């Protein structure tokens, strides 16, 4: 028996989570395990009713679970960023989910926009650091003569540009990226471990040729960690070059590890070369704590309740959840069933089919249950 938390969230989130649960329960039937689901009412409706985003009580309760199955966050009634920061990022930081894991895999039967590439060419994993870099929230924005602590910005502008902020700059904004040796070490170690399980190649992505302090530390940690993995081939790549090579030669990659901001960017590119956001799952992982698995697309509120949302990314995220809790055969069976559903044309409108959200989920669940 596995105790798993679920958060449907906003928009299409509850619908796609329902289909994901359906498939994971079917996997449990076939592979002899049960899931005890506990649903949490966290999202836009509760926020509008109570003003609560993620409370201390929520955190205390969610901490009891090894995994969270998450739908989507975002609602047009609430300004952008409020729910995303107050719930999604708050969960990631509260549970120190320092690994963002994104499989970039072209499933059988899915078309990629890359000419001449097939499923044999697109099969790699991006490991994105998830709690540091420019996402730590150190920064500010202020106008001329505004009373605030200008010490950091004043130093930057005086040294770099010879400007006196108070007299020369009408408005200034700054954001500081932070990488710690320990933060880099743990996510890079995780990536090396994944590479050892796969094709034994690891690519480190950064921008150390320009941002040499912050990403120079990243490279130092990568090089030191690599010494403990002599069987894994390694390489460095600048982020701008990687965006080109993802498109030209995706087959060259096995596992990619990258700081937070660059990982945020290149994984969306990865999602498109694997067929689109509707096919892209993600995991926010703390190997020793509570992890969270979700589709990476948004809440699509205009499609809420219409039964047309594509549940595949959510179901695939469920496969990642099963893999994380140790049910690896079940995890593989879920992906196999997704591929059969695609081959058989039982897919939603965005993939050229006519199936509803529920019909697609039910079909995949039956394929899992019957071992097809």
Residues carrying an active site annotation: 135, 207, 240, 264, 268
Q: What are phi and psi of 345, to 5 degrees?
A: 80, 15
Nearest to 77 by CA among 7, 8, 11: 11
Q: Which residue reads 């469920």 in tokens?
A: 318
Question: How far apart, in Å, are the Cα atoms of 360 and each of 49, 107, 177, 365?
Answer: 33, 16, 42, 9
Our measurement of the distance from residue 51's CA atom to the centroid of its chain's CA atoms, rounded to an integer in Å, reads 26
Q: Are 361 and 312 within 8 A, CB to CB?
A: no
Nearest to 99 by CA among 19, 28, 187, 173: 187
* 145 conformational bin, left if phi > 0, alpha if psi -120 to 50, beta if neither: left
Q: Which residue reads 């590890």 in tokens?
A: 257
310, β-bridge pairs: none
The whole-angstrom separation of Cα 321 and Cα 325 is: 6
Q: Are 12 and 73 within 8 A, CB to CB?
A: no
The string of DSSP letters for 74-87 reads --TTS-TTHHIIII
């Amino acid at each position: 028996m596995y105790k798993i938390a679920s958060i449907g969230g906003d928009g299409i989130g509850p619908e796609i989570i329902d289909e994901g649960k359906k498939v994971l329960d079917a996997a449990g039937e076939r592979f002899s395990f049960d899931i005890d689901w506990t649903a949490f009412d966290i999202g836009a409706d509760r926020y509008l009713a109570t003003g609560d985003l993620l409370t201390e009580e929520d955190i205390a309760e969610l901490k009891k679970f090894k995994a969270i199955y998450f739908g989507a966050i975002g609602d047009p009634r609430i300004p952008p960023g409020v729910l995303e920061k107050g719930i999604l990022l708050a969960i990631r930081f509260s549970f120190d989910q320092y690994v963002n894991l994104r499989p970039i895999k072209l499933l059988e039967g899915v078309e990629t926009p890359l000419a001449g590439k097939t499923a044999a060419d697109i099969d790699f994993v991006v490991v994105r650091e998830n709690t540091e870099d420019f996402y730590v929230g150190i920064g500010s924005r202020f106008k001329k003569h505004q009373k605030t602590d200008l010490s950091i910005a004043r130093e930057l502008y005086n040294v770099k540009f010879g400007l006196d902020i108070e007299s020369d700059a009408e408005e200034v904004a700054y954001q500081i990226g932070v990488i710690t040796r320990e933060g880099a070490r743990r996510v890079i170690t995780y990536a090396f471990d994944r590479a050892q399980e796969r094709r034994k190649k690891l690519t480190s992505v950064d921008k150390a040729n320009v941002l040499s302090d912050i990403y120079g530390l990243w490279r130092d940690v990568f090089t030191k960690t690599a010494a403990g993995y002599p069987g894994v081939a390694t390489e460095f790549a600048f982020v701008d070059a990687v965006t080109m090579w993802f498109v030209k030669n995706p087959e060259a990659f096995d596992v990619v590890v990258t700081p937070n901001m660059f990982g945020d960017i290149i994984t969306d590119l990865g999602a498109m070369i694997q067929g689109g956001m509707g096919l892209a799952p993600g995991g926010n992982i703390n190997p020793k704590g509570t992890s969270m698995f979700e589709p990476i697309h948004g809440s699509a509120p205009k499609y809420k309740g219409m039964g047309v949302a594509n549940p595949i990314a959510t179901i695939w995220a469920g496969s990642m959840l099963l893999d994380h809790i140790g049910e690896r055969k079940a995890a593989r069976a879920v992906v196999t069933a997704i591929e059969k559903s695609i081959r058989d044309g039982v897919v939603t409108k965005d993939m050229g089919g006519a199936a509803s959200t529920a019909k697609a989920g039910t079909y995949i669940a039956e394929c899992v249950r019957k071992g097809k």
